[in-house]
């Protein structure tokens, strides 16, 4: 059974990909929305469903206490399994949309080998942000330094962004945090970056398309394939522990495999040329007007 958090496009695309992948493996799947499942008189999913796949955080957190052995729960398209409480008993596994920070920094190094100073906005009010800041400092490539500005320490977002650009930075790194990157913040950041000739690393294809130089993208098809790998282990009674288990953080999920997004319009404005090998690997390439192939998708 596939349970989707909502009809949002990323979830709908993932759901379709899951159905397709399950069909390729000879499995029968039933699709139901979280709203429909909640409306049913029964409090659990049908007993004939050996594996339940939750698409999105809402579905995963609601199903977590509902699905009990011998049924198995697998999730995907979940941004932060720990914040969602999915690391607690009963222990389940799945695929998060988190992309390893080290991999993101390696991508920046490949595209812009002269980068030495990373700039970022963060929020001081959450333990998650404090932990992220610590992790970033620990994983900075040798010779790099971090310039971090706490957005909540300024009267306005514009002031925080002005402070960030007032420092000597080579690139700005962003993260998928709705607390920081509201639409107005993204717009102000990208417009200021273009004026200051500073590249921005985006956390999604949409962010890169809006004016970031390069970034990462989570592909629904890839999330589905990762989830099905776990489902297959359950269905064939193999060891389902496919994530990284850490006794301190209780991590038990797969990190997201990501796609590369490049914006050649911004690259042209910043007089930056991407390595050909990187261009070949990129799934999303946004090109200048007049070129019919504005977005490439392998």
Q: Are residues 84 and 231 in the same domain?
A: yes
Q: Which residues have CB under 8 Å from 185's CB, separation 6+?
A: 121, 151, 157, 161
Q: In what order do the strands lie in the sheet with 93-96?
A: 31-33, 2-4, 51-55, 72-78, 93-96
Question: 157 and 10, same structural domain?
Answer: no
Q: Residue 107 falls within a domain, yes or no?
A: yes
pLDDT of residue 236 exceeding 90:
no
Give a yes or no: residue 293 inside a domain. Answer: no
Residues 197 and 114 in one domain: yes
Which CATH number characterizes residue 203's domain? 3.40.50.2300
88 phi/psi in degrees, rounded to 5: -90, 165
Per-residue pLDDT tens over the stretch 26-78: 998 999 999 888 876 555 667 788 899 999 999 999 999 988 888 899 999 99
Query: Please, is 147 exposed, middle or buried when counting C-beta atoms within 10 Å of its C-beta (0-12, 13-18, 19+)?
Result: middle
| Residue 65 belongs to domain spanning | 2-97+219-235
Q: In the chain, how many domains are there?
A: 2
Same domain flag for 64 and 105: no
Chain centroid offset of residue 261 CA: 13
Instruction: Specify whether 141 is located in the same domain as 63.
Output: no
- Say which residues have a Cβ less than 8 Å from residue 88's Cβ, sequence separation at least 6: 250
Q: Model confidence over 259-281: pLDDT tens digits? A: 999 999 999 999 999 999 999 99
For the ranges 18-32, 70-84, 150-164, 224-238, the lowest mean pLDDT is seen at: 224-238
Rounded CA separation 285/16 (Å): 24
Burial of 230 (0-12, 13-18, 19+ CB in 10 A): buried
Hey, what are 252's tokens? 């038990």
Tell whether 55 and 157 lie within a shared domain. no
| DSSP-derived 3-state class of residue 132 | helix
Same domain membership, residue 263 and residue 116: yes
């Amino acid at each position: 059974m596939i349970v989707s958090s909502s009809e949002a496009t990323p979830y709908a695309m993932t759901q379709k990909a899951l159905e397709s992948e399950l069909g390729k493996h000879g499995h029968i799947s039933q699709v139901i929305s979280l709203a429909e499942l909640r409306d049913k008189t029964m409090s659990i999913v049908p007993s004939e469903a050996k594996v339940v796949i939750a698409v999105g955080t809402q579905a995963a957190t609601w199903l977590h206490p509902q699905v009990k052995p011998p049924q198995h729960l697998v999730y995907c398209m979940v941004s932060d399994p720990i914040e969602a409480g999915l690391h607690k008993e009963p222990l389940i596994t799945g695929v998060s949309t988190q992309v390893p920070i080290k991999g993101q920094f390696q991508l920046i190094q490949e595209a812009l080998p002269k980068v030495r100073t990373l700039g970022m906005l963060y929020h001081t009010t959450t333990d998650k942000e404090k932990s992220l800041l610590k992790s970033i400092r620990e994983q900075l490539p040798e010779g790099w330094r971090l310039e971090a500005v706490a957005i909540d320490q300024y009267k306005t977002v514009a002031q925080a962004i002005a402070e960030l650009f007032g420092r000597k930075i080579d690139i700005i790194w962003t993260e998928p945090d709705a607390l920081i990157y509201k639409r107005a913040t993204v717009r102000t950041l990208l417009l200021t970056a273009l004026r200051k000739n500073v590249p921005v690393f985006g956390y999604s294809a949409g962010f890169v398309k809006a004016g970031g130089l390069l970034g990462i993208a989570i592909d629904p098809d890839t999330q589905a394939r990762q989830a099905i790998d776990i489902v297959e282990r359950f269905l064939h009674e193999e060891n389902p522990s496919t994530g990284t288990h850490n006794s301190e953080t209780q991590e038990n999920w797969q990190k997201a495999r990501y796609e590369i997004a490049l914006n050649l319009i911004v690259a042209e404005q910043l007089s930056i040329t991407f390595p050909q090998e990187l261009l070949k690997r990129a799934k999303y390439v946004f090109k200048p007007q007049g070129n019919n192939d504005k977005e490439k998708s392998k």
